[in-house]
Amino acid sequence: MARLFQLTFLLLALGFSAHDASAADAPLVLERKIPLEKVGGRIDHFALDRSRHHLFLAELGNDSVSVVNLATGVVDHRIEGLGEPQGVAYVAETDTLYVANGDDGAVRVFRASDFAQIGKIDLKDDADNVRVDAPNHLVYVGFGSGAVAAIDVRTMAKTMEMRLKAHPESLRLDPAGNRLFVNVPNAHEVAVLDRTSGKALTAWQSQPDARANFPMAVRADGTQIFVGYRSPARLVAFDTKDGRTVFNVPTCGDADDVFLDEKRQRAYVSCGEGVIDVFQTTATSANRIAQLKVSSGARTSFFDAEGDRLFLAVRASIGEPAAIWVYRPQ
């Protein structure tokens, strides 16, 4: 007992505690918080301009997009006067920022050098998630009651419209082919589209009672997609060859983003219940190794694999100002 007391005293004297020891072993460590000033309401998705160290954040409830300088940790600029911005994407080829607005369905295009608006593509209704297809000079935007638009970034014009059964949520490009994977929650399916023809190829379901599939991630080799369901709360991996369910495991409630850390073979799931789930994955399984408690309602995130950081959007609440929480994987 005396030796234990001496050891405890020594650790306290050196500034350690049981909390510090557990934090040191955690797969994600909170590195800093970047305040967003007076931002209220729901916060949505992120994009990154690496050349300028700019992280863009769609502040849906604030009708704005913040431009956060990751080098200084401050908001450099705020694009205001938007209409419920949801999806954002930075296009390096044209040095532009695409912002999809849920209110009027407009996709607004801004110069990333000075944030002047230089284009607008009117999709009429509920423009949402955005993905960049850099090799083909395209941006894909989910919108309306069931469609994905292809926009040529050189002309800022819509070139194709792919129809779906209901409104699309997360969409991902197949890195090993020409397919587009799209979550369609109200149709209870993952739609698989051909990006050349715009036609539907097939649709996948994990189980008959699976509902509300919002977030999605795809492995770098294109062999699997990871889909987060809210009802019941599950993380499901599909084999992209045939749509076979590889695994189906419980996860946190109200999942809105899933990202894969290929370096560590992990999946990060951010959920509105105020949790980040961390899974260790293999080709055939996922095992939850940590569940980090965060702020309630903080459900959108962004993992920068090259910068090796996970960014979490934390909305304002009683006692917790709006901020971006920056996590370092270890």
* Neighbour count for residue 82 (Cβ, 10 Å): 22
95 sits in the region (left: phi over 0; alpha: psi -120 to 50; else beta) called left
Tell me how far the alpha carbon of residue 43 is from its chain's centroid.
Answer: 12
Please state, in angstroms and rounded to a whole number, the distance separating the CA atoms of residues 239 and 243.
Answer: 5
pLDDT score recorded for residue 206: 84
Residue 3: strand pairing partners: none
pLDDT score recorded for residue 10: 36
The verdict on pTM exceeding 0.85 is yes
pLDDT score recorded for residue 23: 64
Please state, in angstroms and rounded to a whole number, the distance separating the CA atoms of residues 116 and 156.
Answer: 15
Q: Which residue numbers in the chain have pLDDT < 70?
A: 1-24
pLDDT score recorded for residue 11: 36
Cα dihedral 16, 19, 23, 24 sign:
positive
pLDDT score recorded for residue 117: 98
Domains of the chain listed by start with CATH number: 27-42+178-330 (2.130.10.10), 43-163 (2.130.10.10)
pLDDT score recorded for residue 22: 53
